[in-house]
Amino acid sequence: MTLLLGANCASVSAEETTASSTTSINETITHVEKALTEVNKSDFSAAQLHLKSARLSSENITGDQVKIKLANASVIQGQIQAKHGEIKESAAELNKALSLYKSL
């Protein structure tokens, strides 16, 4: 009986982790999309806020670590480009990040 109870707890914990990761992915995608919209409008201040939020929510994403690291790196590069006012370059990096996050 104890063994069965332990297995059920592990199963519930795995489900909660997956649900949490999915929520984090969705939140991150939403923030990156909003940042992309703001970058395209040249509203870099609002874009920076969304990019900071995207970076925070991406910390809870689990899964393919290579894709996650590449996506996070693209967000950071997009953020750097936005700080320099480089709309095209920032948008390209953010689109790359979106593609990677959506593939998770």
pLDDT digits (tens, 9 = 90+) for 83-104: 999 999 999 999 999 999 999 9
Report pTM.
0.82
Hey, what are 79's tokens?
């953020």
Q: Tell me: domain 2-102, CATH 1.20.120.660, correct?
A: yes
pLDDT digits (tens, 9 = 90+) for 31-52: 999 999 999 999 999 999 999 9
Cα–Cα distance between 75 and 39 in angstroms, integer?
A: 12
In the chain, domain spans: 2-102
- Report the alpha-carbon angle 40-59-91, nearest 5: 15
74 CB burial (10 A radius; 0-12, 13-18, 19+): buried
